[in-house]
């Protein structure tokens, strides 16, 4: 029983079929998928189960933690500030945030920060979870951290720190000095009439389907390989856990999903990793980056086209994730690590499977959320099956 509910526009039935196949044939537990084409919602489906015990159906109003899919929302907030003339991608970060200049970072540009080239994937020294959840503390620590490589000479995934760095820029340049979560709520969520939180209110907690992790591998060789690349003290391990602040005893050195299920973490503002939303809300946001939706367009054509250009060197290995990754102005762009719908796509995937993006060439936006994490950071096969079904429908039309 898959409990599939929702609608697809005529001709989009293959997406429902792909969604049903995911629920029947993969590790899927509960999930939602939505797509817009030419400014119109054409897919809105949800199904499966809200809980690991499969006793409560995944519902229309279920909310889901989407990990790094949040980064795309933060990139949109930054782009809105650029559109308003509050911020320039080409200006030094220190022009807006003077303290950031410490340790030789004075010339680092906003573009370099947004494309993970500033070498600040963690902070110097130990940090506790409570300190990491305090905005003023963690941003001050980042400003006073030395870059891990000469700025602009390499890039490495700022798994958690990206959100505080970009979010502090928004706070500094916003005339009302709003936090990133408040900016998103007042400038994106309310105008579009959606549910999207960076900093979850207490009254919504009960509707968040808990993230479920895959069991750890029992293959010693695989476990050793994982420890080598993302264990404590490695760039990936430190980036994903902020020097262990977000890890758990069962998941040492890596981002602990169980920590992200807690009220304290969901209530904080972690604009790289703790967004809570649903598929129709995320797909609507990305649609509104291309064309007016309900009278709201979030980005101009000029800023959008700048923001989605890949600026990281072709085939350059990611210093944290090892394999090549591709970034524009905060968006992960289309590449081997994040295929999306192909060239021109911009958005962001989240750990374990979630993803949201747009592709202007097809006038297409897409979002997928789920509660069962796969053991991957991007290019989830469940999401890709749904994306492929969507693009086949569009291309056949």
Domain ranges of the chain: 220-256
Per-residue exposure over 159-193, b if at least 16 CB sit within 10 Å of its own CB, e if not? bbbbbbbbbbbbbbbbeeebbbbbbbbebbbeebe
pLDDT digits (tens, 9 = 90+) for 245-263: 998 544 444 455 689 999 9
Would you say residue 377 has pLDDT above 70?
Answer: no
User: Cβ(157)–Cβ(116) under 8 Å?
Assistant: yes
Mean pLDDT of 181-186: 98
Would you say residue 242 has pLDDT above 70?
Answer: yes
Mean pLDDT of 66-71: 97
Angle (CA) 128-132-134 rounded to 5° is: 120
Would you say residue 166 has pLDDT above 80?
Answer: yes
Would you say residue 68 has pLDDT above 50?
Answer: yes
Average per-residue pLDDT in the chain? 94
pLDDT digits (tens, 9 = 90+) for 308-351: 999 999 999 999 999 999 999 999 999 999 999 999 999 999 99
Would you say residue 208 has pLDDT above 70?
Answer: yes
Strands 208-209 and 364-370: unpaired
| Of residues 77, 81, 83, the one with CA closest to residue 96 | 81
Catalytic residue among 68, 179, 241, 281: 68
Strands 364-370 and 355-359: antiparallel
pLDDT at 249: 42
Mean pLDDT of 216-228: 66
pTM, 2 dp: 0.96
Per-residue exposure over 34-68, b if at least 16 CB sit within 10 Å of its own CB, e if not? bbbbeeebbbbbbbbbbeeeeeebbbeebbbbbbb
Determine the Cα–Cα distance for residues 358 and 35; give it in Å rounded to an integer. 9
pLDDT at 251: 43
pLDDT band at 114; cut points 50, 70, 90: very high
pLDDT digits (tens, 9 = 90+) for 9-61: 999 999 999 999 999 998 899 999 999 999 999 999 999 999 999 999 999 99
pLDDT at 252: 41
pLDDT at 224: 67
62 assigned to active site: no
């Amino acid at each position: 029983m898959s409990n599939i509910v929702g609608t697809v526009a005529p001709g989009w039935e293959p997406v429902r079929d792909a969604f049903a196949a995911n629920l029947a044939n993969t590790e899927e537990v509960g999930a939602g998928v939505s797509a817009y084409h030419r400014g119109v919602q054409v897919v809105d489906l949800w199904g499966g189960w809200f809980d690991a015990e499969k006793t409560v159906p995944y519902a229309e109003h279920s909310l889901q933690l989407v990990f790094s899919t949040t980064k795309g929302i933060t990139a949109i907030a930054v782009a809105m500030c650029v559109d308003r003339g509050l911020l320039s991608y080409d200006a030094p970060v220190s022009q807006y945030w003077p303290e950031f200049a410490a340790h030789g970072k004075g010339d680092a540009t906003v573009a370099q920060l947004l494309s993970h080239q500033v070498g600040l994937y963690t902070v110097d020294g130990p940090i506790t979870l409570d300190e990491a959840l305090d905005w003023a503390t963690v941003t001050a620590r980042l400003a006073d951290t030395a870059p891990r490589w000469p700025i602009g000479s390499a890039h490495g995934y700022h798994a958690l720190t990206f959100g505080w760095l970009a979010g502090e820029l928004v706070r500094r340049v916003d005339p009302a000095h709003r936090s990133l979560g408040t900016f998103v709520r007042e400038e994106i969520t309310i105008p579009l009439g959606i549910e999207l939180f960076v900093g979850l209110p207490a009254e919504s907690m009960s509707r968040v389907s808990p993230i479920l992790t895959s069991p750890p591998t029992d293959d010693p060789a695989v476990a050793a390989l994982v420890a080598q690349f993302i264990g404590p003290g490695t760039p990936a391990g430190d980036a994903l856990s902020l020097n262990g602040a977000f890890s758990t005893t069962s998941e040492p050195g890596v981002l602990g999903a169980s920590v992200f299920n807690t009220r304290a973490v969901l209530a904080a503002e972690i604009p790289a990793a703790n967004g809570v939303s649903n598929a129709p809300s995320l797909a609507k946001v990305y649609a509104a980056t291309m064309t007016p939706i309900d009278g709201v367009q979030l980005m101009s054509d000029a800023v959008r086209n700048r923001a989605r250009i890949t600026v990281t060197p072709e085939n350059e290995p990611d210093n944290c994730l090892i394999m090549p990754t591709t970034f524009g102005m905060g968006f992960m762009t289309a590449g081997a690590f994040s295929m999306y719908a192909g060239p021109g796509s911009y958005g962001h995937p989240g750990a374990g499977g979630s993803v949201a993006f747009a592709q202007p060439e097809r006038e297409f936006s897409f979002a997928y959320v789920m509660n069962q994490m796969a053991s991957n950071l991007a290019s989830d096969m469940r999401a890709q099956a749904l994306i492929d079904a969507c693009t086949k429908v569009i291309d056949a039309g």
